[in-house]
């Protein structure tokens, strides 16, 4: 169990706010942090990793104190046994893929762990390449493998998939989920992608200006209406066109653009750019007007 009860002043000038959390993360849970940029998601990861000292509060991991402002305890990142996948991957440019992994391995870790991870992550053929010669997806796999070599208690992922295309994302999501389950990790991940959040996490915390405004299973947070849908996808609204009495909504789901017909009452406050759920119920009668009085003048 990880408990994070901290205050930390962030930002500067007019954009100042306080990161203030009282968060308990169950062991083995996969928590995603969601929220607008600049809401403190990355800072929260850094606080947990020990890279950013809070102003006050305490952090405990399995009953062990990592940080306590009153008792003046601040365990350095070196002693927290954390695997951190940075947004820029932070691969060491002077080392090859396998050297990066070897550098991260602690003496107590079994010797075959590197070979195993190279295999699992499909990196064996790239083992002797330098990071500069790798593609984004390959770098991301190396970064994830390197974090796992450490056999961490907690895995922290800072938008690891943001820069990747859809296919690569999907396959790496599986890698993350696999590792998380197999190794019994406690994972905290920053993500902006609702599909990813739904697929991977069991708990989501929504951050706004440094505070967790909502916490719970992502299904409940993002689908307040509890649609008992057979199919449901999340996507981004591209544009809305009103045609007679209905709206045609173009939604970007994955890399497909889907047109959805919607009743004005469903449109509510939906605007282009909003994240939406497109769901199809088991029975979905549709009524079209064929003839009658014209509505338009």
Partner 1 sequence: MNWEPLRLTFELAMTTTIVLLVVSVPLAFWLSKTTSRIKPVIETLVSMPLVLPPTVLGFYFLLAFSPNNAFGSWINEWLGIQLVFSFGGLVVASVIYSLPFMVQPIQAGLTSLPPSLSEAAATMGKSARIQLFRVLLPNIRKSLLTGIVLAFAHTVGEFGVVLMIGGNIPGETRVASIAIYDEVESLNYVAANSYSLILFALTFALLLLVYLLNGGYLKRFWKW
Binding site for partner 1 (CB under 8 A): 49-51, 76-84, 86-88, 90, 92-94, 103-104, 106, 150
SS3 63: coil
Q: Which is nearer to partner 1, 104 or 200 (CB)?
A: 104
Strands in 82-85's sheet, in edge-to-edge order, are 73-74, 64-68, 56-61, 2-10, 17-25, 211-216, 203-208, 30-34, 186-190, 154-158, 82-85
Tell me how far, at minimum, the Cβ of 203 lies from partner 1, in Å.
23
Tell me how far, at minimum, the Cβ of 232 lies from partner 1, in Å.
36
Tell me how far, at minimum, the Cβ of 76 lies from partner 1, in Å.
7
CA distances for 120 relative to 57, 113, 117, 141, 149, angstroms: 39, 10, 5, 10, 12
Q: Count the helices and strands in the chain (H runs, E runs).
A: 8, 15
Q: How far apart are alpha carbons 269 and 254 in whole angstroms? A: 23
Tell me how far, at minimum, the Cβ of 84 lies from partner 1, in Å.
5
Q: Which is nearer to partner 1, 90 or 278 (CB)?
A: 90
Angle between helices 113-120 and 166-182 in degrees, nearest 10: 140
Q: Which is nearer to partner 1, 143 or 249 (CB)?
A: 143
Task: Please list, in sequence order, all residues whose beta carbon lies within 8 angstroms of the beta carbon of residue 18, skipping any fewer than 6 positions away.
Answer: 7, 8, 9, 10, 210
Query: Token pair of 78, please?
Result: 């070196």
Q: Which is nearer to partner 1, 61 or 84 (CB)?
A: 84
Tell me how far, at minimum, the Cβ of 107 lies from partner 1, in Å.
10
Q: Which is nearer to partner 1, 90 or 215 (CB)?
A: 90
Q: Which is nearer to partner 1, 117 or 198 (CB)?
A: 117
According to DSSP, the β-strands at 231-243 and 275-280 are antiparallel
Task: Identify the H or E element spanning 30.
Answer: strand 30-34
Phi and psi at residue 92, to the nearest 5°: -80, 115
Of residues 293, 28, 225, 90, the one with CA closest to residue 77 = 90
How many CB atoms lie under 10 A from the CB of residue 217? 12
Tell me how far, at minimum, the Cβ of 8 lies from partner 1, in Å.
16
Q: Which is nearer to partner 1, 97 or 237 (CB)?
A: 97
Tell me how far, at minimum, the Cβ of 78 lies from partner 1, in Å.
5
Tell me how far, at minimum, the Cβ of 51 lies from partner 1, in Å.
5
Q: How far apart are alpha carbons 31 and 20 in whole angstroms? A: 17
Q: Are the CB atoms for 195 and 24 separated by under 8 Å?
A: no
Q: Which is nearer to partner 1, 31 or 91 (CB)?
A: 91
């Amino acid at each position: 169990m990880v408990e994070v009860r901290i205050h930390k002043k962030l930002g500067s000038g007019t954009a100042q706010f306080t990161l203030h959390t009282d968060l308990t993360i169950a062991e083995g849970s996969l928590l995603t942090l969601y929220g607008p940029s600049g809401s403190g998601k990355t800072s929260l990861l850094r606080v947990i990793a020990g890279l950013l000292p809070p102003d006050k509060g305490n952090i405990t991991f399995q009953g062990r104190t990592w940080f306590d402002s009153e008792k003046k305890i601040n365990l350095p990142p070196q002693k927290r046994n954390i695997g951190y996948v940075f947004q820029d991957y932070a691969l060491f440019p002077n080392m090859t893929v396998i050297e990066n992994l070897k550098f991260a391995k602690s003496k107590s870790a079994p010797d075959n762990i590197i070979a195993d991870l190279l295999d699992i992550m499909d990196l064996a053929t790239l083992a002797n390449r330098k990071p500069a010669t790798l593609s984004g997806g390959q770098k991301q796999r190396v970064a994830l493998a390197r974090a796992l070599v450490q056999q961490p208690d907690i895995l922290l992922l800072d938008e690891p998939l943001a820069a990747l295309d859809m296919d690569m994302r999907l396959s790496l999501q599986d890698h993350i989920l696999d590792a998380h389950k197999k190794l019994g990790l406690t994972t905290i991940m920053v993500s902006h992608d609702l599909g990813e959040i739904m697929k991977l996490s069991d708990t989501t915390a929504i951050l706004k200006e440094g505070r967790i405004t909502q916490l719970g299973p992502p299904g409940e947070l993002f689908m307040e209406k509890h649609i008992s849908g057979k199919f449901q996808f999340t996507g981004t609204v591209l544009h809305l066109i009103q045609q007679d009495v209905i709206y045609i909504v173009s939604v970007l789901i994955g890399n497909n653009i889907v047109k959805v017909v919607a009743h004005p009452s469903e449109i509510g406050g939906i605007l282009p750019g909003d994240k939406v759920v497109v769901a199809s119920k088991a029975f979905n009668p549709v009524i079209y007007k064929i003839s009658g009085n014209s509505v338009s003048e």
